[in-house]
Amino acid sequence: VSDQITVAVVGASGYTGAELCRLLLQHPHVKLTGLYARSSAGQPLSKVFPQFAGRLEQVIEPFDADRVEARAVFCALPHGESAPVVAALAARGHVVLDLSADLRLHDAATHETWYGGHAAVPPELRARAVYGLPELHRERLRGASLVAVPGCYPTAAILAATAFLEAELVLPDLIVDAKSGVSGAGRGAALAYHYPEVEGGIRAYKIAGTHRHTPEMEQELGARVTFTPHLVPMSRGILACVYMRPLDPTVPAARYHEALRARWQGEPFVTVLPAGALPDTAHVRGSNRAHVSVAVDERVGRVIALAAIDNLVKGAAGQAVQCLNLAVGLPETLGLDGVAPFP
Ligand SMILES: NC(=O)c1ccc[n+]([C@@H]2O[C@H](COP(=O)([O-])OP(=O)(O)OC[C@H]3O[C@@H](n4cnc5c(N)ncnc54)[C@H](OP(=O)(O)O)[C@@H]3O)[C@@H](O)[C@H]2O)c1
């Protein structure tokens, strides 16, 4: 089809890379023209990921910016590895969607503090990158040539809490308590993520202001964040519970629900559950949807906002495809409108 957008994926042998390939294959206006990685180069994608057998047999190539023939390129690389690849592609005029953290923070000094100084990003590139959360930055994403796709935890926390901060119903001082499936750590498994180390338990990690997604949440929410992430024994999914103090404790619970509904009305991928219903990662698994809700503990004066997403879809690859649609002028929901398979 002549109106197809040519697209390449760098990091195709990783978890978000595989998810990008799955979503791009079912996108009606996309033609996948290149798959790139490092150690997996030379192998067909279907050997690295057998789910693609018979559907996408393309061979993964070593990345070489000069050989990329695609209008848009997704970079699904570890942070630090991504910046030079993004810089090379941006210089050659491709639309670049970077799934790493390298360009997400607007302030270079904040990036340096949290990620260290390796792979310094050229300042003009950082300034040009649009934070790829369409629910906050849709107009800037239209026609964008460089997108910093958000992290998975920040996506969940921002979609949970934004409505109440914007409506000035809560103090800008949040506790984000979130649980993630193990695929959030990527395919390059370390010991801590092996099945026997994860199965049968649940643990918090990188607490008390040490997780790198903290400044990203603070940047987009304009609030102080205490973040406690947890690893839970499931492959996919994030559930974020955000605890907030109401500015006025006499405001009734219904007002919070109303604020949530008003903020996300018309959003194709954010569903406000009926009052009293609570999100479940099983209901968004494999889809680009976020389910959100709010409850108020009037006895102690606390507002609890919840969001469930699939970390690999709305938390990464699906959101990146949503940004591609906006960047190249396609309908935002194209290729993404599936419902989660359940059970
Ligand atoms: N997993 C999630 O839920 C999630 C959510 C949001 C954002 N992200 C971000 O998305 C990025 C990718 O995450 P992931 O979970 O997909 O990681 P992953 O499973 O570890 O995959 C990383 C990929 O990068 C490739 N790679 C590494 N260095 C490379 C280089 N110099 N040149 C070419 N390819 C290179 C690897 O290829 P080889 O193994 O073949 O060398 C592999 O395909 C990370 O920045 C991560 O923080 C992840």
Q: What is the pLDDT of residues 119-160, one digit of tens each?
A: 567 889 999 999 999 999 999 999 999 999 999 999 999 999
- Give the C-alpha separation, 258 to 261, whole Å: 5
Q: What is the pLDDT of residue 123?
A: 87
Q: What is the pLDDT of residues 282-299, one digit of tens each?
A: 999 999 999 999 999 999
Q: What is the pLDDT of residue 118?
A: 58
Does the structure show a pLDDT above 90 at 46? yes
Q: What is the pLDDT of residue 116?
A: 86
Query: Is 21 a known active-site residue?
Result: no
CB 262 within 8 A of CB 294: no
- Give the C-alpha separation, 166 to 341, whole Å: 33
Q: What is the pLDDT of residues 6-20, one digit of tens each?
A: 999 999 999 999 999
Q: What is the pLDDT of residue 119?
A: 57
Cα first-last separation, the chain: 36
E strand map for the chain: 5-10, 30-37, 61-62, 72-75, 95-98, 130-131, 146-148, 173-180, 203-204, 224-231, 238-244, 270-272, 290-297, 302-309
Atom of ligand 1 nearest to the CA of 48: 40
CB 335 within 8 A of CB 26: yes
Q: What is the pLDDT of residue 1?
A: 45
Distance (Å) from CA 297 to ligand 1 centroid = 40
Distance (Å) from CA 140 to ligand 1 centroid = 26
Q: What is the pLDDT of residue 122?
A: 84
- Rg of the Cα atoms in the chain: 20
Atom of ligand 1 nearest to the CA of 316: 6
Mean pLDDT of 59-67: 96
